[in-house]
Chain A
Amino acid sequence: MALREWIDERFPLTEFIERHITKYPTPKNLNYWWNFGSLAGAFFAVQVITGIWLAMYYKPSTELAFDSVQHIMRDVNYGWLIRYLHAIGPTGFFFAVYIHMARGIYYGSYKSPRELIWWIGLAIYLALMAEAFMGYLLPWGQMSFWGATVITNLFSAIPVIGSKFVIWLRGDFAVGDPTLGRFFSFHTTFIPLGIIGLLLVFHLTALHRVGSNNPAGIDLDKKGPAVVPFSPYYVTKDLWFISLIFTVYLYFVFFKPDFFLEPINNEPANPFATPLEIVPEWYFLPFYAILRSIPSKLGGVVAMGGAIFILAFLPYLDRSPVRSARYRPIKRVLTWLFFLNFLVLGYVGAHPPFGVMVLIGRIATFYYFLYFLLLLIIPAFEKTRPLPKEVEL
């Protein structure tokens, strides 16, 4: 391999491949919950590629945006395919990210020495939400317009400068052409490549510094029998799992493309007529439910923002030295309840805020925050099960 040597003298190619792929030590005992990070990465790649292609025909102007999407759907070769891949991709992306985060919470992957991985991941999640929200405006349908109107109006809850800030954010006195232009710019350049892409590199760099957590939550000897090289073991497992989930993803793309899309977004934006019901995409529903559960404008916005930011304090709220909930009977129950509660919030968010829905929403919101308080308290009395010395296979 003369070429390989020539390159290695000038660029650490072999070193990089060995360090991060062929000799990167990975715990033997990872279960399928550890597959969702690479799955999210695969969805990210699909979004970037299809996005680059869509931008070839999409026109970011209020006059042309809606029609340019129709043009892509009807006239451009395979435009329907690329657009459906891009429109349904976020569902897969958020599905992967939520399970990835839930795995981190359950197995205590946020604990020392992985706090930075957790925080970088949260930043990716925040950027992802901004990315999805801005992208949703681009087709310039009814839900695009009114969703953007409502979400930008959230910032009007900021005391004193709120209303001025909203105008600055929109570049107009209502969501309009300047808003569409800046959302397109951010959505296609800075957020995906400058923020998400960069943070992804940081996320993996930090991960490869300390290595993956594992279901037992114990530190493994990186040279010991409990680890296997990432390639071929986890390359093949990841590829297999990505293929499996992509089969479901492509089923929706080809056979049920409208399943995750709002029918009313097939109507062009009309600033004179608000749709009867404004429902965000499913991946925002739990936070939307928290927003609606608080009967105060500022309070709702603070609660919604706080619901996300409180995750950043997890490494300090949860002081137990035991990582994995497998060996923590109380945290285990509370965490499953927390996940169930998150789904309940999503259910509430999908329904109009009347009658019993309001009550369920408030109880679920209460438990969402209570969970973090309980995590702070339970180590004082929780009897943890003995940790294994070596991983059981």
Chain B
Amino acid sequence: MEKKGKEVSRRDFLTVTTSAVGAVGIGAAAIPFIKFMSPSKDIIRAGVMDVDISGLKEGEFKIVMWRKQPVFLLKRDKRMIETAARIDPSKLKDPASPEERVKRPDFLVCIGICTHLGCIPHFQPEKIAPGFDLPGFYCPCHGGKYDTLGRRLDGPPPENLHLVPYEFIDGKKLRIGTPEFAGFTENIRKIQDLPKVKV
């Protein structure tokens, strides 16, 4: 068969359609192999965790591991609440009001990963660092400074400490996470925008 001008030969047609169907088939067959490498169901389900917080005293700080990421729990005392409230949110690099950071003023829950390069900041109950005379968090790696709401005050971090979905259960227990929420990689800035905790 000779090709004349733009005429499509029977063989061209078959070659193109067969290749197209084959490509779709290979693409479809690749899906299970790609999804196989995503987190498995048990890892997804492990995204919801209960923590007993009945023993936490005023001013006490605790780190729990959730989804292989450190989560900061801080029972904030009066001084912590007051010093943080005095900061003008509009002057922050990543502006956020206290109401956007915590569900209860006396309790901070956030992911304890420095937004600069991923180290775990230290809790400083008295003063963060010289010149920062208020309690908060200090990252020893490159000098990132955060207040007791996890808001970035100074140093190289570009953002506030990331938030994580949580809810209080009868004031004694804290339920952290959802099956879908990934953690650090999902930076949702306002606590009101976080997904609801679900089991």
* Interface residue? B185 (CB, 8 A): no
A68-102 residues at the B interface, CB under 8 angstroms: 71, 74-79, 81-82
Q: Would you give the 0/1 interface string for B23-45, flagging 1 where the beta carbon is closer than 8 Å to chain A?
A: 00000000111011110111100
Across chains A and B, which 6 residue pairs bring their CB atoms closest together, nearest first? A78-B32, A77-B35, A75-B40, A75-B41, A76-B40, A75-B42
Bound-state CA distance A306–B122 (Å) is: 72
CB closest residue in chain B, given A82: B36
With the chains together, A77 CA to B41 CA distance in Å? 7
Q: Does A150 contact B (CB under 8 A)?
A: no
Q: Which residues of B contact A77 (CB under 8 A)?
A: 32, 35-36, 38, 40-41
A291 to B2, CA, bound (A): 62
Shortest beta-carbon distance from A12 to chain B in Å: 25
Q: Is A393 an interface residue (CB 8 A)?
A: no
CB of A160 closer than 8 Å to a CB of B? no
Sample (5) of A-B pairs whose CB atoms are under 8 Å apart: A56-B36, A78-B32, A78-B33, A78-B36, A82-B32
CB <8 Å contact, B37 and A81: no
Within 8 Å CB of B31, what residues of A?
Answer: 78
| A79 close to B36 (CB less than 8 A) | yes
Q: Which residues of A contact B33 (CB under 8 A)?
A: 49, 53, 78, 82
In the complex, how many residue pairs between chain A and chain B have their CB atoms under 8 Å apart? Answer: 34
Q: A78-B32, A82-B32 are in contact. Are A56 and B40 (CB under 8 A)?
A: no
- A83 to chain B minimum Cβ distance, whole angstroms, is 10
Q: Give chain A interface residues in 51-68, CB to chain B under 8 Å.
A: 53, 56-57
Q: When each residue 26-53 of chain A gets 1 if its CB lies under 8 Å from chain B and 0 otherwise, what string results? A: 0000000000000000000000010001
Chain B residue at minimal CB-CB distance from A76: B40
> Which residue of B35, B36, B42, B43 has the most chain A CB atoms within 10 A of its CB atom?
B36
In the complex, A75 Cα to B46 Cα: how many Å? 12
Cα A81 to Cα B31 with chains together (Å): 11
How far, in whole Å, are A247 and B146 apart by their CA atoms in the complex? 61
Contact, CB under 8 Å: A56 / B42 = no
- Complex CA gap A82/B33 in Å reads 8
Q: Which residue of B lies closest to A54 (CB)?
A: B36
Known: A71-B40, A75-B43, A82-B33. 15 other contacts (CB 8 A): A53-B36, A53-B37, A56-B37, A75-B40, A75-B41, A76-B36, A76-B40, A76-B41, A77-B35, A77-B38, A77-B41, A78-B31, A78-B32, A79-B40, A82-B36
Please give, as numbers and ranges, the residues of chain A lying within 8 Å of B40 by CB-CB distance: 57, 71, 75-77, 79
Measured between beta carbons, the chain B residues less than 8 angstroms from A79 are 36, 40
- Taking CB atoms, residues of chain B closer than 8 Å to A78 are 31-33, 35-36
Q: What's the minimum C-beta distance from B152 to chain A, rounded to whole angstroms?
A: 36
| Chain B nearest Cβ from A207, distance in angstroms | 25
Chain A residues with CB below 8 A from B36, complex form: 53, 56, 76-79, 82
The docked-state distance in angstroms from the alpha carbon of A352 to that of B43 is 45
The docked-state distance in angstroms from the alpha carbon of A77 to that of B34 is 9
How distant is the Cα of A79 from the Cα of B41 in the complex, in angstroms? 11
Chain B residue with minimal CB distance to A243? B25
Least Cβ–Cβ distance between B182 and chain A, in angstroms: 16
Q: Inside 8 A of A71's CB, which chain B residues have their CB?
A: 40, 42
Within 8 A of B (CB), among A364-389: none
